[in-house]
Amino acid sequence: MVLQLIPMIKTTDFKSIADRYKVIFFDSFGVIKNYWGLVPGMRDTFDYLEANQKEYYIVTNDASRSPQQLAASFVKLGLEMITADKIISSGMLAKEYLDLKVDGGSVAFLGTDDSAHYIENAGLHTIPVRDITDENINQVNGLVFMDDEGFNWFSDLNKAVNLLRKRNIPAIVANTDFAYPLNMNDVAIAVGALANMIEHVVGKRFIRFGKPDSQMFMFAYDLVREKMEISKKDILMVGDTLHTDILGGNKFGLDTVLVFSGNVKPEDAETAISSTGIVPTYICDTAVIKID
């Protein structure tokens, strides 16, 4: 066994970076919380931002719950300042799409009933894929992939394939992630991977919402501009995932911070960055701001 010395990337203190921006966008999982719960010290970060009147938003590829439910989960972690109006989720974009583009009838969904309830509106009701029958299939005007839970994969994924073969309707993917961490050792297949599989089987183009797509950042940017005069130079995006948070933030023209509280380990950072070509503006251990 031969040993070799390799350099490890040097990180910067998050506070010194955050101080330079007027608005901060945070990814949720891997930045604010992870599978152990709240990332220790993140309460201080939000206290500091509040005290210094900095705007912040949570920009998350999570379509399993409404912004209200997501906010409730932050309250449970002791972050009562993260209210529903500070949350931009890919589910919100899916909902906007359905509001604008599906005129009537019903929208079939794969996911929990909670996720479906959120996208319902006055003119449109939702139906779980399992309840599609020969009688109601012609009223189905869209299919939405919301969450990997809440349905039987074998029967309902097969049913979704045949729905898309019989009805020429849009298929919307409200969470593009392929996997998410369950605990320190295990990951779970996310609905984005299921949607990709169905897309290949039926050979049609699906409509995807979620980072790295610019639409998420634009949605947040629009919200900020309603409150204050601002340019993209004033906004910082903080994330733990190179190909969603950092790629998407970079492309939208924002400065970006990669943190090590989630997907990327410090010792893998250099290889990950140079092999993907996705380069964050800064690298920090965590997004924690220590208050003296």
Choose between 77 and 279: whose C-beta lies nearer to a second copy: 279
Choose between 71 and 160: whose C-beta lies nearer to a second copy: 160
CA 281 vs CA 11, 61, 259: distances in Å: 11, 22, 11
Count of residues of this chain found to bind a second copy when the rule CB under 8 A is applied: 69
Binding mask 65-94 for a second copy (x = CB under 8 A): ------------------------------
Residue from 76, 274, 290, 291 touching a second copy (CB under 8 A): that is: 274
What span, in angstroms and rounded, lies between the C-alpha atoms of 189 and 194? 8
Minimum CB separation from a second copy for residue 288, in Å? 19
Give just the sign of the alpha carbon dihedral 21, 23, 24, 25.
negative
DSSP string, 20-73: T-SEEEE-SBTTTEETTEEPTTHHHHHHHHHHTT-EEEEEE---SS-HHHHHHH
Minimum CB separation from a second copy for residue 119, in Å? 14
Of residues 14-73, those binding a second copy (CB under 8 A): none
Cβ-based burial of 149 (10 A; exposed 0-12, middle 13-18, buried ≥19): middle
Residue from 40, 276, 285, 290 touching a second copy (CB under 8 A): that is: 276
The dihedral region occupied by 121, where left means phi > 0, alpha psi between -120 and 50, and beta the remainder, is beta
Choose between 139 and 215: whose C-beta lies nearer to a second copy: 215
CB neighbour list of residue 147: distance below 8 Å, 6 or more residues apart: 63, 64, 110, 111, 112, 115, 175, 191
Q: Which two tokens stand for residue 80?
A: 């009562």
Minimum CB separation from a second copy for residue 245, in Å? 13
Helices (H), 167-278: 191-202, 214-227, 247-252, 269-276
Residue from 40, 52, 84, 101 touching a second copy (CB under 8 A): that is: 101
Choose between 51 and 122: whose C-beta lies nearer to a second copy: 122
Binding mask 133-162 for a second copy (x = CB under 8 A): -------------------xxx--xx--xx
CA 93 vs CA 61, 78, 104, 106: distances in Å: 10, 27, 18, 18
Choose between 41 and 181: whose C-beta lies nearer to a second copy: 181
Of residues 161-180, those binding a second copy (CB under 8 A): 161-162, 164-166, 168-171, 178-179
Of residues 246-265, those binding a second copy (CB under 8 A): 247, 250-254
Choose between 101 and 117: whose C-beta lies nearer to a second copy: 101
Q: Which two tokens stand for residue 196?
A: 């990709």
The per-residue b/e assignment along 182-214, b for 16 or more CB within 10 angstroms, e otherwise, is: eeeeeeeebbbebbbebbeebeeebebbbbbbe
What span, in angstroms and rounded, lies between the C-alpha atoms of 284 and 7? 16
Please choose, out of 13-21, 70-78, 108-116, 273-281, the segment that lies near a second copy by the rule CB under 8 A: 273-281
Of residues 201-230, those binding a second copy (CB under 8 A): 201-207, 213-215, 218
Q: Applying CB under 8 A, which residues contact a second copy? A: 1-8, 10, 96-97, 100-101, 152-154, 157-158, 161-162, 164-166, 168-171, 178-179, 185-189, 193-194, 196-198, 200-207, 213-215, 218, 232-233, 243, 247, 250-254, 267, 271, 273-279
